[in-house]
Chain A
Amino acid sequence: RALCPLVPSAPAALRALPPPVAVGVLHTTRPLHTTQQSLAPVPPLPEKGGEVRHGVIPEEFFQFLYPKTGVTGPYMLGTGLLLYLLSKEIYVVNHETVAAACILTVIVYGVKKFGADVAAFADKLNEEKMATALAMKNGAIQTLQTAIEEEKKEQWRVEGRNYLFDAKRNNIAMLLEANYRERLLMVYNEVKKRLDYQVAMQTLKRQKEQDYMIQWVEKNVVQSITPQQQKESIAKCILDLKALSKTAHAAV
């Protein structure tokens, strides 16, 4: 109990975990990270790293010394340390030092000049990957939504099947009705034709008889006119004409 004073304050979740398996057995089956707290999504990494001064010394160091030594404290510490190391020859200046100085100069120069561009380039590569992935995801969402729409539309379309069958039945009914009416009409027409034929025959016969009789009567009348009658009728016609002409003259 004295060795682990923090046990009482351990979260209940940890205590709820099953105790570790006995010594000697591989701890592969011990369930870790199964409670709600550990299943939450990991918060994203911060965008920028910690603040540094002169590229390598973290800002926290300066803040740590500030209350006691003020602003110049860390610099004094650094200079003093450096001079101590050099003067006591704890750090020996040899050809490696010169090499290090040259290399570091080049490196720092390179980073300062090209750093931002390289960073932007790398960021752009990453951005492109993200953009492709995002585009794919959005495309997939769009496709799924249109697919759902299409399915719903097809279901709606299917509801129209009743119309099809009604139309077909209508067609059949109309066809039957039309046939029936045609048959009735045919019967009527045939009967009427026959009756009309009879009537027409009769009227034709009567007419022919009439014509023949008239002709016969005329022929006989003409035959019966004797020459004596003809002369008399012509003389009468002339007298009539003269009388008519007199009245005509008078009228004019």
Chain B
Amino acid sequence: MAGRKAALKAVDWAAFAERVPPSQRAMFNALKTRNDALTTRLAALPEKPPAIDWAFYKANVAKAGMVDEFQKKFSALKVPEPVDTQTAKIDAQEKEAAKSIAEYIQASKARIAQYEQQLQKLKNMIPFEQMTLEDLSEAFPETKLNKEKYPYWPHKPIADL
């Protein structure tokens, strides 16, 4: 009975549900229903089966020795605990997930830094009323007219006007 009672870690379903992105809600619901089903099933089963009243049977069963035999075999019987094959897989999954999550967070932070940079640039821009065309080309390089490729006005293909 020692390895049996690996304590069930309390899962905060409310906090968990908050963090599920909408695209994965179906999977989350499936997991939750599974968990609930297992919980009810577990709760319905008693922890130990009731004890067999050997004295009563010894007094009442006429066949000699049958009850004693049963009793001996019963107390000698060891019900094997079901073997846990999946927890190792789950741990492996968790490690993998931790790695990919670290990468994702890195990428995310890089993206945030980029966005912050652009935001700062936009916020520090001089107002449009005080800009010349040169200043505009500096602030938004995509508006710069390519005078080498298109030497004649309007310096961009007619289709782009």
With A159-B19, A191-B52 as known contacts, state yes or no: A176 contacts B112, CB within 8 Å: no
Q: Are A199 and B70 in contact (CB under 8 A)?
A: no
Q: How many pairs of residues, A versus B, come closer than 8 Å at their CB atoms? A: 155
Query: Size class of B's contact patch?
Result: 35 or more
Taken residue by residue from 126 to 156, chain B's Cβ proximity to chain A (1 for < 8 Å, 0 otherwise) reads as 1011101000000000000000000000000
- A154 at interface by CB-CB < 8 Å: yes
Dominant SS among interface residues on chain A: helix
Q: How far is the CB of A117 from chain B (nearest CB, A)?
A: 23
| Cβ-defined partner of B126 (8 Å) among A41, A151, A178 | A41
Taken residue by residue from 3 to 22, chain B's Cβ proximity to chain A (1 for < 8 Å, 0 otherwise) reads as 01010110110011011110
CA distance A38 to B115 in the complex (A): 31
Q: How far is the CB of B29 from chain A (nearest CB, A)?
A: 12
Q: Are A185 and B45 in contact (CB under 8 A)?
A: yes
Q: What residues of chain B have their CB less than 8 Å away from a CB belonging to chain A?
A: 4, 6, 8-9, 11-12, 15-16, 18-21, 31, 34-35, 38-39, 41-42, 45-50, 52, 57, 60-63, 66-67, 70, 74, 77, 79-82, 84, 86-87, 90, 93-94, 97-98, 101, 104-105, 108, 111-112, 115-116, 118-119, 122-123, 125-126, 128-130, 132
Q: What residues of chain A have their CB less than 8 Å away from a CB belonging to chain B?
A: 41-42, 44, 130, 133-134, 137, 140-141, 144-145, 147-148, 151-152, 154-161, 163-185, 187-189, 191-192, 194-195, 198-199, 202
